[in-house]
Homo-oligomer: A and B are copies of this chain.
Amino acid sequence: MTTDRHRACAAEQIFDQYLQSTHRRRTQERMMVLSCSESMKGHFTAEDVANQLQAGHNNVALATVYSTLDLLTHCGILTARHFDSGVTYYEKASTPHMHLVCTVCGKIRDLRDASIDAIVANRRFSSFTPTRYAMTVYGMCGACAKAVKNKSKSNKTISKSQKRK
């Protein structure tokens, strides 16, 4: 709670400064997209943000959401991710970590592993200079494994909200 609020506060300061230094305007829409992003749990899409804002009767055009998410990514508040679909997912920027993606229900879990970080940091890639890595492990989450075991006769129990494309 407190941590989240602190983070949101810090994010606003970072964004303010970014807007100032790049001579952009501090519009209501941009601030709404920021606060909505900060309120999101885990991974979300541009459409998720637009929908959530709409639900709160704070309509912001999808095009504006996209452009603001782009700004938030550029100033380091968000990180953009691409998994096995054409959709761009955003998440609050944090320390490097890998993602566990369930290929059945689509759920995405974050997982930190120091040994991966160490490999990227210490390995030599000959003339290639690394700046960041994306590590995704695909498989089946516990819930889906249980569902498969329990009900092997009724096929496909994909929770609609999780399935994309």
Residues on A close to B: CB < 8 A?
80, 82-86, 100, 102-103, 109, 111, 113, 115-116, 119-120, 123, 125-143, 145
Contact = CB atoms under 8 A, between A and B. Distances in A.
Nearest to A145: B129
B116 A128 contact: no
Contacts of A141: 127-128
Nearest to A102: B128
A137 B142 contact: no
B127 A142 contact: yes
Contact of A133 (B125, B127, B132, B135): B135
A137 B127 contact: no
B145 A127 contact: yes
Contacts of A115: 115, 119
Contacts of A138: 130-134
Contacts of A111: 125
Q: Which of A102, A128, A139 has the most CB of B within 10 A?
A: A128
Nearest to A118: B115
